Structure 1
Amino acid sequence: MGTLLERSMRGWLDHLRVERGASPHTLRAYERDLRRYADHLAGRGIEDPGKVAEGDISDFLATLREGDTDHAPLAASSAARTLVAVRGFHKFLTLEGDTPDDVAAAVPPPKPPQRLPKAIPLDQVERLLAAASVGDTPKSLRDRALLELLYGIGARVTEAVSLDVDDIEFESATVRVLGKGGKERVLPLGRYAAEALSAYLTRARPALATKGAGSAALFLNQRGGRLSRQSAWNVIQETAKRADLPGHLSPHTLRHSFATHLLDGGADVRVVQELLGHASVTTTQIYTMVTVQQLREVFASSHPRAH
């Protein structure tokens, strides 16, 4: 029958299978995770789940991350998934009254490493914009204006497609954007974006508007209605393909590039925070990590004593 610990683990797995309808794949994954956990506790002479302390679980998590003689170190995401099984098991024991306290509840899962935003170099941005401006059709003029605006003001794609014509002020060279939480910000409009928008509004939007029932939207689709978020994604992906750019590009790529290029050019991080509409400067500081990484790469490849 095994130890009390092993029987308790089997009871939880049976509960998941019968009462919760867990899939065979999920059950196999949890069983594998619990087997490793049981081995860890056995190495400490623990065969009764009631004898497990919070420190035993914290040490198990550390072992997952650092590895041991039988296992390679796990990434934060994989270790967190294993901890989910352990925490589920101990919560079950507490709810069943088998243990007085849930000793795993206070053990936090490891945080995955912060992913750096993806930005593309300026020459690739220029290639993308050049590919969007091929031809003189209403669609090509619209696409060029959309991409120039996304890169020119660092707008989120939802913010860009939500713009109305009246949100563009050519005289003051500004754009009024409604961001997350209904927070409005007024952004400077650069010359390239202004010229692309002017060409679109005078030579393309009227033709698109005749196909619809009338819309205040700045960017219109082929039927005269407001351009959707998904259509904006399609615009950048189709244009990136024509420009023969590597990797997967999205509207957010242009937002990331906007922020990174500003910081590379010496802009203050709090100014970039305001331009992006971030509630906290901590969010914006992620972009400074990108520029530091770029400095490391240049240093490593260029300095004679870097290695």
Structure 2
Amino acid sequence: MATPAEKLVRTYLDHLTVERGASPNTVAAYRRDLARYTSFLATRGIDDATAVTEADVSAFLADLQAPVDGHVPLSVSSATRALVAVRSFHSFVAAEGRTSDDPAAAVKPPKAAKNLPKALDIGQVQALLDTPDTGSPGGLRDAALLELLYGTGARVSEVVDLDVDDLQPLLADPDAGLRLFGKGRKERLVPVGSYARRAVEAWLVRGRPAFAQASARPSPALLLNSRGGRLSRQSAYGVLQKAGEAAHLTVDVSPHTLRHSFATHLLDGGADVRVVQELLGHASVTTTQIYTLVTAEHLREVFLAAHPRAR
């Protein structure tokens, strides 16, 4: 039988889904983190979220980062993510009037070293985009995936969630742009360049029909797997890994690598950071500004390598 704390967590997750329109991936992540939290509370003899104190929440954060009972300590980013879920949960509990105060409000996340995103240079991106064999249906699909990821800066989930119908306005009018739905189903319109449009058109005409006929139930998805179903995020990651190996890149390549590269190359080309913010679908410009650090580091490297009196 579920404890009072677990029941409140279920109510909160329903709130995330229905009231706030959180994506299934976000809800799944919160569910995992809050399950870990309620298990920790149980070890302290607490089965009711309304009985939690600030000390309990702080102890949970410390437990995440310590090799206690044989579990591997979480990274700063993972521990922060878990704390965000706990703070959001307790904020909801307080807002619902279940408690008079919020025991998690004053618990601060751990500070992390600022890691710069890894971006490919333009030559590496070109080598990556040149790897698919566009003489085969699978190669046409992979080319469309790669060009869309780099050409729009979209998250991989946003690309694999696209349906054929979503592309119709763009195919009818190249200036129409592509409508994407980001975190929390936040909608944005992004322009799509000629390379990505041509790759998508080639896939729709010469590649997708071959994959579509493999399934008895037609899928509306733009990108299909060989069985005629929607291409998954995991399979898209595999496409990127395979392309990185074929291009002989020495760095790890993921869909997010192309998103990082998209942003960095735009800023290197003189794009305004707020324009890049809109294209990426970031809620705050602060998130986007880390890419300006990448550009500044790149400029420093060029300066040190090229100027005769730099060292």
Q: Note whether the superposition's TM-score is higher than 0.5.
A: yes
Mind listing any 5+ residue stretches in structure 1 that lack a counterpart? 1-15, 30-75, 81-104
1:269 matched to 2:273: yes
Q: What is the aligned partner in structure 2 of residue 184 from structure 1?
A: 187
Residue pairs, 1:33-112, within 5 angstroms: 111-112=111-112
Give distance in 2, aligned partners of 1:107 and 1:165: 46
Counting matched residue pairs gives 216
Code of the residue aligned with 2:172 in structure 1: it is E
1:110-142 CA distance string (max 9 Å, x none): 61111111100011000001112x241110000
1:299 matched to 2:300: no
1:172 matched to 2:173: yes
Larger radius of gyration: 1
Q: What is the aligned partner in structure 1 of residue 11 from structure 2?
A: none
Retained in 1: the 8 A contact 2:213–2:228? yes
1:230-269 CA distance string (max 9 Å, x none): 0000001011111111111100000000000000000111
TM superposition shift of 1:166: 1.3
1:255-303 CA distance string (max 9 Å, x none): 0000000000001111111100000011111111100000111111122
1:195 pairs, out of 179, 193, 198, with: 198
TM-score, normalised with respect to structure 2: 0.64
Q: What is the aligned partner in structure 2 of residue 94 from structure 1?
A: none
1:209 matched to 2:212: yes
Retained in 1: the 8 A contact 2:134–2:143? no
Code of the residue aligned with 1:159 in structure 2: it is E
Other structure's SS at 2:126 match: helix
Q: What is the aligned partner in structure 2 of residue 39 from structure 1?
A: none
Other structure's SS at 1:186 match: strand
TM superposition shift of 1:172: 2.4
| Moved segments of 4+, more than 4 Å | 105-110
Give RMSD over aligned pairs.
2.7
Q: What is the aligned partner in structure 2 of residue 251 from structure 1?
A: 255
Q: What is the aligned partner in structure 2 of residue 45 from structure 1?
A: none
Retained in 1: the 8 A contact 2:141–2:223? yes
Q: What is the aligned partner in structure 1 of residue 121 from structure 2?
A: 121
TM-score, normalised with respect to structure 1: 0.65
